[in-house]
Amino acid sequence: MEENKKIMLVLRSGGDFTIKDVELIARHINGNWKSSTLPKIYCLWDKAADVYDLGGFTLLPFRTTLPGTWARMHLYSPEMEQYRPFLYVDLDTAIINTLENIFDLVTDQSKFITLEDFWQKGSLATGLVWFPAHSEKIQAVWNAKPDVPTSRRMDGFLRSVVKVDMFWQALTNTIVDFKPRSRKLLNELPSNANLVCFHGKPRILGAQSIEWVKQYVEKDFARQLRAEEKVTVIIPYNRDRGWLQQAKDSIPKGVQTILSKGDGNWPENFNKVLDQATGKYIRWLHEDDMLTDNCIEDSVYALESQDVDFIHGNAYEIFMNAGRAPGKYIPRIKVPTLQDLLVKNVIHSATLMYKREVFEKVGKMNESLWVMEEFEFNLRCLKAGLRIGYCDNYLAWYRRHSQQKVRVVPIPEKNKERELVRNDYKI
């Protein structure tokens, strides 16, 4: 499962910012986020008496008597180590695109990364800071903190105490100054802008006479469905061989789960309930298999990030004969073609997930097949020009046991069915 990226904000009462500024930036961080796993947004607030989870962000209490930007000193405190590494973002930052692009720039999480001051080249600025975990530089700042502020802004103090490992501007040209020249404001938003740093007055909420700023403030985002809410899992089965409950229990809450018991084969039982599926993405789960904890989230992420029609991945294999340890299946071909599958089926059926449109384009499962139905369906998808992707994570637990259909059906019958399918799809 992908870990939540951590973003830290600071709100000190009595200044220019209010909780509305926190709500604004959190709305844009979450709304622009592309991955299914949203970041964890924390805001240190000196008026918070406890930890408050407000959905889009979480308020954390902290005590400070330090004025202005000096309130950020708490970010360097030992008690913040539990949250590091994290990305600190000034409230006066407009998130035009996604902060994922900023996280992608952090190829070495041990580095201390800051903005370069827009007007004082070569000097650090603290509007956007990567805080590494267990960093000597972070500790040095905390140890050198003055009891009484030595200047109006904290930046000057930091420059005398610590050297940055790199500036964001050396890594990207997408961070834009709202005041590019004296007495000049950014009236037109550059096409490459990812972040716009206001760093001073006017603040974002006070600059709405500028059209793009007004649109930014007023922009709303449709509710983002969690990965679980996007998925339907269908369990088609003829009888419970003793593992059905385990299969059901492996499906996360929030996932639409449909059990389909019938006298026919599993394609028939799958097909008869397919129209009941409401999920954006659909997968089957056999009653003798289980999903891994990360299956739904990682599968949805793979489908959306790769912009493909269906995905497969890795699987754990449980051998029910005593004394044999679980195995691991990793396909030797990650993105197989139709020809690849005709040579050898490298797709583990327990790992598959499809966009619901796939079934609308190529039809339902072939009910005349007894052992090659998944193989045939994937060939049909590829022949229709649908795109397959690969999720490099373990997505399912697959049981190997004596009651499996592939073991019960005689080998000559399996071979005959395989050849029939291959002949139908020969290139």
pLDDT in tens, the chain (427 residues): 457 899 999 999 888 899 999 999 999 998 898 886 789 999 999 988 888 877 778 899 998 888 888 999 999 999 999 999 999 999 999 999 999 999 999 999 999 999 999 989 999 999 999 999 999 999 999 999 988 887 778 898 999 999 999 999 999 999 999 998 777 899 999 999 999 999 888 999 999 999 999 999 999 886 556 777 889 999 999 888 888 999 999 999 889 999 999 888 899 999 999 999 989 999 999 999 999 988 999 999 899 888 899 999 999 988 766 667 778 999 999 999 999 999 999 999 999 999 999 999 999 999 998 789 999 999 999 999 999 999 999 999 998 866 666 655 677 777 888 888 888 888 6
Residue pointed to by tokens 């299946």: 329
The token duo for 143 is 């140890």
Domain 6-218 has CATH 3.90.550.10: yes
The token duo for 58 is 């979480």
* SS3 assignment, position 424: helix
Domain 6-218 and domain 227-425, same fold? Reply is: yes
**The pLDDT of residue 263:** 87
- How far apart CA 40 and CA 38 sit, in angstroms, is 7
Model pTM greater than 0.85?
Answer: no
**DSSP assigned state of 192:** T
The token duo for 402 is 């004596």
* SS3 assignment, position 63: coil
**The pLDDT of residue 401:** 65
What fold does the segment set 227-425 form as a domain?
Answer: Spore Coat Polysaccharide Biosynthesis Protein SpsA; Chain A (3.90.550)
Q: Where are the domains of the chain?
A: 6-218, 227-425
